[in-house]
Structure 1
């Protein structure tokens, strides 16, 4: 480990807080879209099978979850992991101007089609917003800002246009830009510490206390991996599968493109160091 004021620590600004405010789920201003629009498959994550477009049996008339405080103990831990990045309230309050699928049944089908598209766009907004806080990637900030503005424009398209949007093509262009930003930041990590493990199968890997500064872990399978005490500063965790990974005492303060849903799927403790933009999952205290 190296001290926080070491010159080898690059000028990386921790993930933004207020800038991400509109990209956080606000269930009180959503029509329970994740509880209706998505398909649930009976598994260790969900206690029931549910078709897309059919309300979950736990969804109440006021669009709130009837077992919200008991989701994990009642067999729905997958619900505590899911994050819409604020897409739910955007679709409910802006795209459909407050018309809910119960009061206006004619909106239901289109609303449920738009929601997953909006969710993808909002996830991209989260990553792009973080990219603008990365000092070593400042030469890319102009392009990143233009891409962010274009993504935001797409989120404000009419419902019919959004439903037919080719999100995959847009994701591809955004991914290339984020990859460039990631390389610029990871290049500032101490020499010899960088590892290219993009998409690697690290399920159950023993990485306790390992120095992973600057590692490329995009899309890596870290399911049930032991990352306790690991140094993940400047490691790119875009899309990494952290389900049941042990992050106890790990340092993620300057990890790149980490999301709340990834943390929610992992295990950690009071000693886990997190970016300022993310919260400590309540179940970590279980």
Structure 2
């Protein structure tokens, strides 16, 4: 797997190379199915402790019910995105030796994975920021932050596990906030700041949300049918079961595949070109 330092990162709107920040489950040792914990809920039918393999994980590290996850009650699995951290830890950090082959490394591998996942998420946001023409005034700072984050991902297992992710995230967030301000500068005047807002079940059908910041907002089950979310800051917004049918999210910033996967949409939902329309959007609801 090529190292991210080999990527050519150009601060141009048509340069968006995030292929190595997309999950490649075939190159991963099922880390999200083992390292993470989940509790019985609407997202999972059972409890599972961290470090315990999911009962559906096969010997080849593939999921035995991959095509029926939602039907079996594992909708949480269909939403999760590791941003490519799984294959990075499996193939680079631990050199392709899996936790079954070398059980003594299992605990460390499971500790490294969630840290790597957070670092890769930051790489996703920083890479996006570098593609936006409005961020030219802070290109150098964004590049330095991206390069530092990449170096953190390339450390030894012990070094990665000991990374102070909270402190690094706080530093990066300063630049992400500046990115948001620059992108929304020409349209955010007179727009209400909805950062961290509780919009659970909100009726926002057809709403003009261009240039609004919805960072960290709770949009669970919100009605966003036909809403205009262009130039909207969506970092950390909770879209679980939000209705995005017919909504326009082109040009929104910091939207991730996991957020899209958690929502409901249809063929009329407009997404940024670097995100895929979830397959469950093509199926009728329960």
Gaps of 5+ in 2: 1-11
Pairwise CA distance, 1:190: 6.6
Equivalent residue, structure 1, for 2:127 = 129
Contact 2:188/2:212 (<8 A) preserved:
no
Give the TM-score normalised by structure 1.
0.93
Equivalent residue, structure 2, for 1:55 = 53
Give the TM-score normalised by structure 2.
0.93
Instruction: Compare relative contact order (CA 8 Å, sep 6+) and give the higher one, 1 or 2.
Output: 1
Q: Does 1:225 align with 2:222?
A: yes
The equivalent position to 2:187 in structure 1, one of 186, 189, 212, is 189
Pairwise CA distance, 1:191: 4.5
Q: Does 1:213 align with 2:202?
A: no
Cα deviation 1:81-111 (Å, max 9, x = unaligned) = 0000000000000000001000110110000
Q: Does 1:276 align with 2:273?
A: yes
Cα deviation 1:99-142 (Å, max 9, x = unaligned) = 10001101100000000000000000000000001111210111
Contact 2:248/2:269 (<8 A) preserved:
yes
Three-state SS of the structure 1 residue aligned to 2:18 is: helix
Alignment of 1:95-244 (within 5 A): 95-189=93-187, 191-192=189-190, 194-244=191-241
Pairwise CA distance, 1:13: 3.2
Distance 1:195 1:13, change over 3 A: farther
Three-state SS of the structure 2 residue aligned to 1:270 is: coil
Contact 1:195/1:214 (<8 A) preserved:
no
Distance 1:231 1:13, change over 3 A: farther
Q: Number of residue pairs matched?
A: 272
Two-structure CA RMSD over aligned residues (Å) = 1.1
Q: 1:80 & 1:53 partners in 2: Cα distance?
A: 20
Contact 2:211/2:232 (<8 A) preserved:
yes
Equivalent residue, structure 2, for 1:77 = 75
Q: 2:166 & 2:31 partners in 1: Cα distance?
A: 22
Contact 1:195/1:212 (<8 A) preserved:
no
Three-state SS of the structure 2 residue aligned to 1:89 is: helix
Runs of 4+ in 1 over 3 A off after TM superposition: none
